[in-house]
Structure 1
């Protein structure tokens, strides 16, 4: 993980005390559509996916979160609104949970933590922008290559159906890309 800010041991301990440990079993839902989102989650171990189900029932994969990644419905979390995404554990997973209120409190008390979250939000925004641009401008082969570069372990951890949904291709096209 990139280091965005330096903390004293006391600052780290105070910030870390705001987090709660959470475990999920494979296929367990963390966030449902229509839920108010009170927490953001740091993946210690495991794999989660954020997805949107469209009106036709098709899955659109928004994000994978592997070890050392954050996941939530960001709009719902930051604006204290209902989620439009479903977040599911694809493997047994261990997480740290941070509530919106606790995040706000520690950011007020420890400015360095506020700086950390600002840098992480900027980093996330840049990655999402790059993914959107790739999705809109690249062909299936290029999108597949970017996915493998970013998440090389996903081929062994995620079903072809889920990978295809992330790439916006059919399972048959994904099979051709993997050859």
Structure 2
């Protein structure tokens, strides 16, 4: 929970009372490599905060091809936001690539927390805004940048991913073949 506190305090100060109240709404959960937090077709019970570890958020198309949306890692918030907020079934999967420690919060607890502690609502708004900006940048990059430019952006923004993620998964994230990624990385 101290990791969560430090993360929140990067945006806003917290009293002991505030943090105790916040922490009471989360549950800590250890996951092993290959475990799923979300499976397509299932109900999405929580928003997840990654304390430690690495995950992949991906969509499987009708041909069985996986498309990597992101690699959530330490200090990231992730879920299938549409399914979570509308209480519908997930369209995407969230799976651990490493053993991970995750904090989860249910929709009911999230809403209760925001209603009773307005400054945490501000925190979540800041996180949602920066996540939305990152998603738009990624979409624009996929639409308008060359494979080489996308690879360079990846190196700049997330250099540690190269040591933590297979080339096959990185290629999927970049929207290129494994062979193209090998050419780009040599």
Shorter-chain TM-score range? over 0.9
Q: How many residues get paired?
A: 179
> Residue 73 of structure 1 aligns with which residue?
80
Match of 2:34 among 27, 52, 75: 27
> Residue 3 of structure 2 aligns with which residue?
none
- Does 1:126 pair with 2:133? yes
- Does 1:43 pair with 2:50? yes
Q: TM-score, normalised by structure 1?
A: 0.97
> Residue 102 of structure 2 aligns with which residue?
95
Give, in angstroms, the shift of residue 150 of structure 1: 1.6
> Is the 1:6–1:112 Cα contact (8 Å) retained in structure 2?
no
Which 4+ residue blocks in structure 1 deviate beyond 6 angstroms?
Answer: none
Deviations 1:45-90 (A, max 9, x none): 1000100000111110011111111111111112221100011000
Give, in angstroms, the shift of residue 169 of structure 1: 0.3
Gaps of 5+ in 2: 1-6
Give, in angstroms, the shift of residue 6 of structure 1: 2.3
1:99-118 to 2 correspondences below 5 Å: 99-118=106-125
Give, in angstroms, the shift of residue 129 of structure 1: 0.5
Match of 1:144 among 132, 138, 151: 151
Match of 2:160 among 137, 146, 153: 153
> Residue 16 of structure 1 aligns with which residue?
23
Match of 2:13 among 2, 6, 29: 6
Distance in 2 (CA, whole Å) between partners of 1:18 and 1:150 is 32
Give, in angstroms, the shift of residue 33 of structure 1: 0.4
Q: TM-score, normalised by structure 2?
A: 0.93
Distance in 2 (CA, whole Å) between partners of 1:147 and 1:91 is 20
Deviations 1:138-178 (A, max 9, x none): 00011111112121111111111100000000000000111
> Is the 1:7–1:112 Cα contact (8 Å) retained in structure 2?
no
Gaps of 5+ in 1: none
Distance in 1 (CA, whole Å) between partners of 2:57 and 2:129 is 19
Distance in 2 (CA, whole Å) between partners of 1:138 and 1:20 is 40
